[in-house]
Amino acid sequence: MRVLLVEDHIDIRRLFEQVIEARGHDVTACADGESAWEAYSRRPYELVLLDWELRGGGMDGLQVCRTIRSSPGGDRCVIVMITGHDSPESLRTALQAGVNDYLVKPVGVEFLKLRLTIAEQWVESVRRRFAAEDQAQALQSQLADHGKFHDLIGRSPAMVVLYEEIQKIAAVDATVLIEGETGTGKELVARAIHLSSRRASHTFLAVNCAGFTDSILGSQLFGHKKGAFTGAIDNQEGVFEAAQGGTIFLDEIGDISPAVQTSLLRVLQEREVTRLGESKPRKVDVRVVVATHHNLAEDVEKGMFRRDLLYRIKVARLQLAPLRERPTDIPLLVHAFLGQFRSVMEKPVLQVSPEALQVLISHSWPGNVRELKSAVESALIHCKGTVVRVEDLPPEVRNPGPATTYVPLQRQDERTRMVGALQQTGGNRSEAARLLGMSRRTFYRRLAEYDVSALGDGGDTPLQ
């Protein structure tokens, strides 16, 4: 820490300076009040050791203390007064001036070390308190600027709590599990954690774990040696090595196979990876953030997910609220998306009509923010003037029908391909999974999600 020592007796000053420097602190030593205040005004200090009676006729220690406390940020330092006065009146006067601690001369070296230990703890406490206040002020400033926190948008109570949790989690290097429905912005939250952490200047890499075979996903995560499997024509590092010093985001972690789960658990425990086809581990330093829309606790009970891996990844947890639970954020999101697509499409669409905005606010948004973004994009495509009207909105938004099983827009093509693969293989799910390059486990999970088992081939061919 930065220490300002103010003592007019040269021998005492040198002794105190040696003791403080020996503890690893940066010390500035002054012999009078004027030079002490000049030094503090140029560069605030975290600890001030201040002699009360300074010779020379200028500022005494009490005046220096009062001047520091009245200056901007003057409450952020710890002040210890050193004096020969040892009376209740003197102590009361010093405390009223803003002194934190009080040492009576003569001060022995061992006693000085003890009181410095107390002062160091006090300084650390002040650091934490003001760091929390600074974070809160920074957060309020960001929210005032269009309700944004990094790339996340919203001012609802749920989002404010989320921003605060992100800041807390970012301050430590624990593994994070982000849970929430599809489309709630789990990758944006992972990026916000990364950008709020000490790793912000390093790489952020995202991997969607769904839809890969074991060898492909294992290679993507951990790397491989040339010839480790068919198609491995060169040595290749995985994302754990590529993101050294940074953050890895593993989306849809609930879809990885037991074999990859075992390898991932070892990486998290040992902080080292072994490329496929190699035996020598390589040390890695990465922060891991994972996400899923599944209930992993239920998957554990079904034997589909390792219990010890769940314990390892849920050290810190974030639950994202669906959009239907924070409708007050919808106008902010619509405004942001409108500006984004207006620029891309080069269309002079300036606003959304009150009637159209009310329809958007009232919609249930089963696809959450991702679906809202798609709806705004579609509305701009159909808008013929400068204002988005109700008739410009997608039909399923302006005229919602009875509740149906929701299939996210970005995965409708996948459902179609699965149906086609089943038809091509005569309903054989294992063959269809291989045809699509999916693991069987992911393929079967998608069958249940899309209800493809009932629709795959019209029921004429039994699924195997």
The predicted-structure confidence for 364-408, as pLDDT tens digits, reads as follows 998 999 999 999 999 999 999 889 999 999 999 988 765 444 444
CATH of region 151-319: 3.40.50.300
Can 2-128 and 151-319 be said to share one CATH topology? yes
**Rounded (10°) CA dihedral 42, 48, 53, 54:** -30
Tell me the HSE value of 237 on the side-chain side, using a 13 A CA sphere: 10
pLDDT greater than 50 at residue 126 = yes
Could you tell me what percentage of the chain is helix, strand and coil, using 3-state DSSP and rounding each to the nearest 5?
Answer: 50, 15, 35
Distance of CA 455 to the CA centre of its chain: 41
Euclidean distance between CA atoms 169 and 316, whole angstroms: 7
Which residues are CB-neighbours of 89 under 8 A, at least 6 positions away? Answer: none
CATH of region 2-128: 3.40.50.2300
Element (DSSP H or E) covering residue 179 = strand 176-179
Which residues are CB-neighbours of 322 under 8 A, at least 6 positions away? Answer: 180, 181, 184, 365, 368
Domain locations along the chain? 2-128, 151-319, 323-398, 409-455
Q: What is the DSSP letter of 322?
A: P
Q: What CATH class has 323-398? A: mainly alpha
Contact between 81 and 52 (Cβ < 8 Å): yes
Residue pLDDT, tens place only, 316-354? 999 999 999 999 999 889 988 988 898 888 888 888 998
Q: Is 57 left (phi over 0), alpha (psi -120 to 50) or beta?
A: left
DSSP string, 373-407: HHHHHHHHHH--SSEE-GGGS-HHHHS--S-----
Distance of CA 89 to the CA centre of its chain: 51
Residue pLDDT, tens place only, 234-292? 888 889 999 999 999 999 999 898 889 999 999 999 999 988 888 889 999 999 999 99
Residue pLDDT, tens place only, 183-213? 999 999 999 999 999 999 999 999 998 877 7
Euclidean distance between CA atoms 153 and 335, whole angstroms: 10
- 294: tokens are 């599944």
**Rounded (10°) CA dihedral 166, 198, 152, 370:** -100
Q: What per-residue confidence (pLDDT) applies to 423?
A: 80
CATH of region 409-455: 1.10.10
Q: Is 422 helix (H, G, I), strand (E, B) or coil?
A: helix
Euclidean distance between CA atoms 286 and 204, whole angstroms: 10
